[in-house]
Chain A
Amino acid sequence: MADSIALSSLPIGSSARLVKFPLSGSAFLRLREMGLLPGTTLTLLRTAPMGDPLEIKVRGYNLTLRKSEADHVLVEPIATP
């Protein structure tokens, strides 16, 4: 099993599987409802020109979140085939 890293330190363009993120906080509640759940795969597409926020692809659509939230989202990188 690969080590878990923060979503914010995932290299751009790579995919990862979500491991966990904080139980409470309105940001994380909404992220869950937007379809980000433990086990969900996502791809980090890019960051905004100034490095923040991040844009990810999850369940076929594009979503933005700030680095400050992405710092708390633990993911497990998926080796690109």
Chain B
Amino acid sequence: MDKTMAMPLYLIKKRRIKRFYLMITLFFVIIQLLWVGIPIFMAIMWSLVNPDDAWSYPNLIPPSFSLEQWRYVFNYTNIARALKTSYSIAPLAVILSFLLSLPTSYVLGRKDIPGKKVFMLVVLLPMIMPGMVVALFLSRVFNLMGLSQTFLGLVLAHTLMSMPYMIRVMTTSFASIPQDVIDAAENLGAGTFVKIKDIFLPMIRPGLIAGMIFAFTTSIEEFNLTFIIGTPTFETIPTILYSFMGYNFIRTNASVVSLLMMTPNIIMLFIVERFLKSDYLSASLGKM
């Protein structure tokens, strides 16, 4: 006897709905994989093109593979120096933007101050204005302050470009902390330090980590300001990438530099993902 015949109608419906959701999920997972995967796959393919055997229409994959494009980038660009500089600046810019954003975000997230909305908009300005416009104006300020061509200047420049992300995300985190948790802590005698350590920091942790990811990737990808105030003394990965991506776009070399820039970021995202799993805020609200 057919089992489904004996099955009640509501169960058959439930099974169909379940199957439908499964199909939809599968569809989006595949789309997502293609969306992210195809560009990465193409970058890998282009980075392995043999210069003596061009990859052209109608070949779907390169006719032969070679590491020559990688050798070219390492031999003929300052990529090693750029990697070192980029990964020296980014962590410092993240720490500095965290320290500078913390009080700002606290005030914006938890206090009612006049002109709060205007201030929020001003904070976002570096994100809204075109990068080269910000760079050209700021370079004058950096020149006047003697910060051009210095490592300190670059850290400050990257901090400035990272801060809007950090402030925005952390402000939302601060705003979401329930007042009754703070009141309860105060009733139990918690001082400012205890409140920061045991309530604010754990509860804003997901936001803080998200802000740090934004700040880190912004720093790693920052081109305009770095090029204007940093080169020739300092070169970062994007300053090399842009030589192959801009006017003189060369897919093979650009792919190599893109992969070099992308790989550490992806590894970092996976590491950070682990921290995001413990969510104090959700726990405090009983939603974990």
**A and B together in one complex:** no
Interface on A for B, CB 8 Å cutoff? none
